[in-house]
Amino acid sequence: MSHLVVRLLNYTPKPIETVYTAARTCYSGNAPSDIWSKRTTEFEMIKLLDKTISSSHHSILEHILFTFSVEGLSRSASHQLVRHRLASFSQQSQRYVEMDDAEFIVPQTFQFTPEAMKIFKETTEQAKIAYKRLRELGIPAEDARFIMPNATTTNIVMSMNFRELWYVSGIRLCRRAQWEIRDLFMRIKSELHSVPELTGLAEYLGPRCETLGYCPEFKSCGYYPIKEKAIGD
Amino acid sequence: MSHLVVRLLNYTPKPIETVYTAARTCYSGNAPSDIWSKRTTEFEMIKLLDKTISSSHHSILEHILFTFSVEGLSRSASHQLVRHRLASFSQQSQRYVEMDDAEFIVPQTFQFTPEAMKIFKETTEQAKIAYKRLRELGIPAEDARFIMPNATTTNIVMSMNFRELWYVSGIRLCRRAQWEIRDLFMRIKSELHSVPELTGLAEYLGPRCETLGYCPEFKSCGYYPIKEKAIGD
Amino acid sequence: MSHLVVRLLNYTPKPIETVYTAARTCYSGNAPSDIWSKRTTEFEMIKLLDKTISSSHHSILEHILFTFSVEGLSRSASHQLVRHRLASFSQQSQRYVEMDDAEFIVPQTFQFTPEAMKIFKETTEQAKIAYKRLRELGIPAEDARFIMPNATTTNIVMSMNFRELWYVSGIRLCRRAQWEIRDLFMRIKSELHSVPELTGLAEYLGPRCETLGYCPEFKSCGYYPIKEKAIGD
Amino acid sequence: MSHLVVRLLNYTPKPIETVYTAARTCYSGNAPSDIWSKRTTEFEMIKLLDKTISSSHHSILEHILFTFSVEGLSRSASHQLVRHRLASFSQQSQRYVEMDDAEFIVPQTFQFTPEAMKIFKETTEQAKIAYKRLRELGIPAEDARFIMPNATTTNIVMSMNFRELWYVSGIRLCRRAQWEIRDLFMRIKSELHSVPELTGLAEYLGPRCETLGYCPEFKSCGYYPIKEKAIGD
């Protein structure tokens, strides 16, 4: 069975310098290229970044773009992922790529119920055999894929600017988020964390409750109290 | 087996008057509300609309929104559809809606190959049985759906402004587009066509070749010649 | 001197029914057109709307579009307004519309300082005279406008869906927002409020502090405490 | 008088490799990170890029972002520029930055008409003096700016992905585009051209007629014939 792999393929270099230059441009008579070349210490830049973000001036975070290789995501999760519209996706096409060697994502809940696991394996194995036979019968790939299950994996190149990455992480890192897409964003955060110049940015990524100071859902997972409880009277 | 149904649920009233007012506002010293209330004959308004569109001033078309009920689309096609980012989608969730009564879209290519059709029916029927058993075993709906095939139908409420509807139709009404999504946009055009005050707008919807004057693909379907052949030297 | 006028020109009819249908489609096995035609009482629909909004399922609010005529806004404010990117604007062009009869917005702060008011009147009057002379000298309108001041008024047809209208109002209705753009959004809210079927929606429009439960700015205006004070330990 | 300066501040490294990886991911069973690390020769990559663009698969171009420092643009042009919504802008604020040392953009048409030039200089000089006096009188900067002319310069940090840069250049590099914004995009193209690894991408930027094969305006500048003339019958 398959496992999700996430790689940070590429990103805007000097990201802190870039958002610092953007932020300073708004409040300065100096030219952006001067601010860029005479930039201050990393400590000062991060201090300004902190202040800018906490005062909701988030648009400056759009100037830095992150590109990820997402490998082995189920089509269930990819259908959900591409609903984020302020991002760019290039996804493996089931119209053009043959599904003969299809792999599948098994949800954890199957792993504790042997009969469920057996059903999962039989159904997905059967789908692969059926797919091959349909192709032999001359059914085009774009139609044969109709019998492939949601568990089938897909690959995606995804780019998001940091404002959107931060916003989406707020939703998808919530403990109540669907487990596979939460896993994806935990790996994304982890990828950023492992690059020294991105560690500071990675720290901003977290569930919305950490930013809001309370849980915005109906029922809290317990990590933060809901709004009504957090804000006394 | 299931069939796609498209209904125009709702739309901005007085659409021609609305885009006329927007277009005139750009080139007039009069207030938009004056232009709106003293608007001219439908003939004159459509003449201006034609002129505005053919000179690429398309942003005026964004002021009118169309909301469709899309019922019985396969998850293959819905995954493709929601990639259009300048639109709003509310889609039936497989995390919350049980798949016990799932229906399936059969591609036409299956219908001429009895063995393929047999495989399709067996595989999809088997998926439904497996889904029910998984639910009985305590697998949550959000995980049991992993074994459901792409052919499974979904419902979507989709809103698009007319600029985007026109742009997307250009791509999706091409004879080389995937058949199910082409069918969807033919039904969308047809829905607009059947409302008297929208017939004029529906006429704008067509494959890109009709607007460009040539086929923008590598190989033409024959309806229009490719660019190199259309534009002589 | 000129005054801002805002008119609700047009909007998606049956807005509550539309967002209700979108919300229910996500969690129901029924077709959207069935939900639409068998919709429940207004009371039940608004209850669902409330629940949906408070659980952050805001995308359903995108299915309803509102079109406003904004008349007599300064070019200072319009430059700021068009920065909202999830909206559609058709603005009076200074390249095509002559500025002979230009009108001007006077900030309130001038009105309590007679010398400032005198300077304002002289400068703007002088600009109009200069503009006319430049046109006589053969300078094209698109270049003559370079000497016109930010105070010059403009007209805009603006369309926003309700999700964006709600988000933007959160920022612009703050007491710390720039006064002219705050005035614009107060008039927008007021326009919605005056239409019986929109009164309920208008109630959602307010500064972000009302939604958050605390002031997200550095310094509060006093209406709500800042986050650190609102959320005890 | 002031002059426009454009600097390419930053961009996604390895841009050709990035879009190549995105394009190949759609049609390959290989993982994006494999495609990325085993990428082929630049010649082969550009060949694929060419093919992908000419078959309208433009979304792959969204994975590379370019950040520019735009210095000394008139507020006339900046108001127009920020209308492009698929871009990120951080602009010098007239609410926070004092206009004491304001500089101005003089359109070329003034330079051949001495009287016009005299009017321009007097009006803009007068505005600066009035601004200073208003500030002394206690008028806040956000209100004093109301008398500043459109010719006043501004600075902007602007980021656009390459798909949007290509689309916007198509409109703004047309000889009929407003001269200042055309100048901006010529400098943008020139900035890209001067970086060896971006020269190939810069070649794609040009007026729409070069892509379409005909002029899409009502009247051609003569560079390309209009559609009716280009496409024979």
Give DSSP secondary structure letters for A115-181. Answer: HHHHHHHHHHHHHHHHHHHHHHTT--HHHHGGGSBTTBEEEEEEEEEHHHHHHHHHHHTSTTS-HHH
What is the mean pLDDT of the segment spanning A75-80? 98
Q: Does the pLDDT value for residue D233 go beyond 60?
A: no
- The per-residue pLDDT of chain C, averaged, comes to 95
Long-range contacts, D54-57 (Cβ 8 Å, 24+): D54/B218, D55/B216, D55/B217, D55/B218, D56/B171, D56/B216, D56/B217, D57/D23, D57/D26
pLDDT of B233 reads 53
| B147-186 residues touching D, CB cutoff 8 A | 171
Closest alpha carbon within chain B to D84: B59
User: Which residues in chain A have Cβ-Cβ distances shorter than 8 Å to B147?
Assistant: 119-120, 123-124, 149-151
Residue C200 has pLDDT above 60, yes or no: yes
Q: Is the pLDDT of residue A103 over 90?
A: yes
Look at C227 and A213 and tell me if their CB atoms are within 8 Å: yes
Residues of D carrying an active site annotation: 172
Taking CB atoms and an 8 Å limit, are D155 and A31 in contact across chains? yes
Helix (H, G, I), strand (E, B) or coil at D216: coil
CA atoms of A68 and D22, how far apart (whole Å)? 10
Phi, psi dihedral angles at D232 (to 5 degrees): -70, 180
Q: How confident is the model at residue A1 (pLDDT cuts 50, 70, 90)?
A: low
Query: B104: which strand partners?
Result: B152
Distance from CA of A44 to the nearest CA of B (A): 37
- The three-state secondary structure class of D231 is strand
- β partners of residue B215: B226
- Cβ–Cβ below 8 Å for D113 and C139: yes
**pLDDT class of B228 with cuts at 50, 70, 90:** confident
What is the rounded average pLDDT for all residues in chain A? Answer: 95
d(CA D162, CA D84): 14
ipTM: 0.95
A69, closest residue in chain D (CA to CA)? D32
Mean pLDDT of C55-74: 96
The token pair at B116 is 């393929």
Query: What single string gives the DSSP state of each residue in chain B?
Result: ----EEEEEEE-SSHHHHHHHHHHHHT-SS-HHHHHHT---HHHHHHHHHHHHHTT-GGGGGG-EEEEEEEEEEHHHHHHHTT--SSEEEE--TTTS--TT--BPPPGGGGG-HHHHHHHHHHHHHHHHHHHHHHHTT--HHHHGGGSBTTBEEEEEEEEEHHHHHHHHHHHTSTTS-HHHHHHHHHHHHHHHTSGGGHHHHTT---HHHHHSSB-SSS--SSS-BHHHHB--
Task: Report pLDDT for C218.
Answer: 82
Q: pTM for the full model?
A: 0.96
Share of chain D above pLDDT 90, in %: 87
Summarised one tens digit per residue, pLDDT across range A30-61 is: 999 999 998 788 889 999 989 888 888 899 99
Residue the block writes with tokens 């930013």: A211
Contact A11, A67 (CB under 8 A): yes
Q: Is C90 helix (H, G, I), strand (E, B) or coil?
A: strand
Q: Is B231's CB within 8 Å of D217's CB? A: no
* B2 band by pLDDT with thresholds 50, 70 and 90: confident
Cα–Cα dist A102/A98, whole Å: 8
- Measure the CA–CA gap between C87 and A31, rounded to whole angstroms: 30
Q: Which of B55, B218, B232 sits opposite D55 (nearest CB)?
A: B218
* % of chain A residues with pLDDT over 70: 99
pLDDT 10s digits, D94-140? 999 999 999 999 999 999 999 999 999 999 999 999 999 999 999 99
**What is the band of B108 on the pLDDT scale with cuts at 50, 70, 90?**
very high
Q: Looking at residue B69, what is its pLDDT?
A: 98
Is C95:C141 a contact under the CB 8 Å cutoff? yes
Asked whether the predicted pLDDT for residue B1 surpasses 70, the reply is: no
Does D146 sit within 8 Å of C106, measured CB to CB?
Answer: yes
Per-residue model confidence (pLDDT) at position A233:
53
Residue D154: its H or E element: strand D153-161
Q: What pLDDT is attached to residue C233?
A: 53
In sequence order, what are the residues at sequence separation of 6 or more whose Cβ sits closer than 8 angstroms to the Cβ of residue C118? none
Instruction: Count contacts between B and C (CB, < 8 Å).
Output: 150
Does residue B219 carry a pLDDT above 90? no
Q: Which residues of D touch C148 (CB under 8 A)?
A: 149-150
- B105: closest CA among C33, A97, A145, A153? A145
Other CB atoms closer than 10 Å to residue C113's CB: what's the count? 15
Average per-residue pLDDT in chain B? 95
Chains with 3 or more CB pairs under 8 A to chain C:
A, B, D
- Name the catalytic one among B75, B145, B163, B172: B172
CA of residue B161 relative to chain centroid, distance: 11
| Other beta carbons within 10 Å of A108 | 9
At B54 the pLDDT is: 82
Q: Quick check: D94 contacting C, CB < 8 Å?
A: yes
A160 - beta bridge partners?
A66
Q: Which of D62, D210, D227 to mutate to test the interface with B (most CBs of B within 10 A)?
A: D227
Identified catalytic residue from A75, A145, A163, A172: A172
Is-contact D195 D94, C-beta < 8 A? no
Reduced DSSP (H G I as helix, E B as strand, rest coil) percent helix, strand, coil of chain D, to 5: 50, 15, 35
Identify all chain D residues contacting A103, using CB atoms and an 8 Å cutoff.
Answer: none
User: Which residue does chain A place closest to B116, by CA atoms?
Assistant: A134
| CA D155 from centre of chain | 13
Phi-psi region of A105 (alpha: psi -120 to 50; beta: other; left: phi over 0): beta
Q: Which two tokens stand for residue D146?
A: 């109301």
- Residue C83 confidence class, pLDDT cut points 50, 70, 90: very high
Q: What percent of chain D has pLDDT over 70?
A: 99
Q: Using the beta-carbon criterion (under 8 Å), do D109 and C143 form an inter-chain contact?
A: yes
Task: Please identify which residue in the block is written with the tokens 């040539």.
Answer: B214
Per-residue pLDDT tens over the stretch B162-206: 999 999 999 999 999 999 999 999 999 999 999 999 999 999 999
What pLDDT digit, counting tens, does each position of D194-210 carry? 999 999 999 999 999 99
Predicted confidence at residue B223, as pLDDT, reads 93
Task: Please provide the size of chain D in residues.
Answer: 233
Give percent above pLDDT 70 in chain C.
99
pLDDT tens for D28-69 read: 999 999 999 987 888 899 999 898 888 888 999 999 999 999
The answer to whether the CB atoms of A227 and C218 lie below 8 A apart is no
- Mutate which: C115, C131, C146, C182, vs D, most D CBs within 10 A: C146
Range name among B64-78, B177-191, C162-176, C216-230 with the lowest pLDDT average: C216-230
CA distance C76 to chain D (A): 7
Asked if the model's pLDDT at residue C232 lies above 80, the reply is no
Q: What is the phi/psi pair of residue A71, to 5°?
A: -125, 125
Radius of gyration over every alpha carbon of chain A, rounded to an integer in angstroms: 22
Provide, as residue numbers in chain B, all residues whose Cβ is less than 8 Å from the Cβ of C70: 32
Q: Is the pLDDT of residue A159 over 70?
A: yes
Q: Is residue D2's pLDDT more than 80?
A: no
Least confidently predicted of B29-33, C10-14, C102-106, D219-223: D219-223
Higher pLDDT, D1 or D23: D23
Given this model, what pLDDT does residue D180 score?
A: 98
| pLDDT value, residue C39 | 76
- Residue A54 has a pLDDT of 82
Catalytic residue among C145, C163, C172, C182: C172
The token pair at B152 is: 């499974």
Check if the beta carbon of residue A188 is closer than 8 Å to that of residue A94.
no
| Whole-number pLDDT of residue B131 | 98
Give the H/E segment covering residue C43: helix C42-54
* A140 at interface of C, judged by CB pairs closer than 8 A: no
- The answer to whether the beta carbons of residues B27 and B93 sit under 8 Å apart is no
Within chain A, residue ranges assigned H as helices are: 15-26, 32-37, 42-54, 75-81, 114-136, 141-144, 162-172, 179-193, 199-202, 208-212, 227-230
